[in-house]
Amino acid sequence: MPANSSGTTDGVAGAPEALRDAGLVDALRRVSSVTDHGDVPLATPIPERDPGTHLIDPAGLKALFEGVRGCVAAILGDARFPLVVGGDCPLLLGCLDAFGSADRRGLLFVDGHEDAYPPERSTTGEAADMELAFALGIVETPWWPELAVASPLVLPRHVRLLGPRDSALLETEDVPSLAHLVPIVDGATLAEDPAGGTSTAVASLPAPWWFHLDLDVLSTEALPAIDYPQPGGLCWNELDEVTATAMEAGPIGWDVTIYNPDLDPERIHAKRIVRFIEAAVGSLPRSTRSAVQG
């Protein structure tokens, strides 16, 4: 999904094209049967923060939600496995609303940040600061009646959050952590036992559940092509363990977000991400692996 919640068409919005150019579809064909559905059509973004919603381009967020939801629902309706490549994190909202019921669907949320800012407390206005807050229904959205009716998209007890390392920043900015609502394994703890921490998390999720991965769960040394670097984070081998464990447990779908190709002019990291996604899809149960869609 070529979306950037800063309201621009550069940065992370270029990730789907860059990863295709780096061989993503061909790589997936080595381990699965793939149909590339192309990009979800989106309107020209507006890079201005709306004073009423405190968001940059709220109309663009609504369009992203509807477009992703329709695409993912159609893929699932064909009994296929959706792999949604971003772009940035708010695409998760459409993924969640595309399957199951709010009181039953689960979410494995692997991310370097909690992403649950109240919109008025976000320093950026980017929906990528707050998509989990929207999904959990812990912020008011009177300006977005479709989401208000569907809210929450997932119940707090059905979410497991792995890898955040922004607790000090949240405290500095006086933003409440989700730790009182959602079980959290922070990045340092996850790095000590990536497979074990992930296995414990997915074992307690209801079926069906969605796997959300923000690549900034990696350390900046492992992946510098991200917009908001911070100390700590996983190495690639640790993320491989997390992802393989999650995929073997059988999510209903998977999204991968937050790679910024503008910070990777030689596409070195694009190629590394392609290898990572290929290996991860290869970890799916064989009956699912033969039905992956990008």
Q: Is the pLDDT of residue 290 over 70?
A: no
Q: Which residues contact 228 (CB under 8 A, 6 or more apart)?
A: 113, 216
Q: Mean pLDDT, to the nearest integer, of 58-83? A: 95
CA angle 52, 120, 260 (to 5 degrees): 100
Q: Is the pLDDT of residue 294 over 50?
A: no
Domain limits of the chain? 11-37+49-293
Q: Is the pLDDT of residue 291 over 60?
A: no
Q: Mean pLDDT, to the nearest integer, of 51-60? A: 97
How do residues 208-237 score in pLDDT, each as one tens digit? 999 999 999 999 999 999 999 999 999 999
Distance between alpha carbon 174 and the CA centroid of its chain, in Å? 24
Tell me the fold of 11-37+49-293: Arginase; Chain A (3.40.800)
Please tell me the predicted confidence (pLDDT) of residue 21. Answer: 97
Q: Mean pLDDT, to the nearest integer, of 175-185? A: 97
Q: Mean pLDDT, to the nearest integer, of 47-52? A: 96
Q: Is the pLDDT of residue 12 over 60?
A: yes
Q: Is the pLDDT of residue 289 over 90?
A: no
Q: Which of 37-46, 68-77, 217-226, 278-287 has the lowest mean pLDDT?
A: 278-287
3-state secondary structure (DSSP) of residue 159: strand
Tell me: cis bond preceding 208? Omega within 30 of 0 counts.
yes
User: Residues of the chain with pLDDT > 70: what percent?
Assistant: 98
Mean pLDDT across the chain, nearest whole number? 95
Helix locations, the chain, DSSP H: 15-21, 24-29, 58-77, 91-96, 131-136, 145-150, 167-172, 187-192, 194-203, 236-248, 268-281, 286-289
How do residues 194-213 score in pLDDT, each as one tens digit? 999 999 999 999 999 999 99
pTM for the structure as a whole: 0.96
d(CA 15, CA 10): 9
d(CA 201, CA 217): 16
d(CA 161, CA 112): 10
Please tell me the predicted confidence (pLDDT) of residue 1. Answer: 72
Please tell me the predicted confidence (pLDDT) of residue 236. Answer: 98
Q: Mean pLDDT, to the nearest integer, of 69-85? A: 95
Classify 100 in phi/psi space as left (phi over 0), alpha (psi -120 to 50) or beta. Answer: left
Q: Is the pLDDT of residue 287 over 80?
A: no
Q: Mean pLDDT, to the nearest integer, of 104-126? A: 97
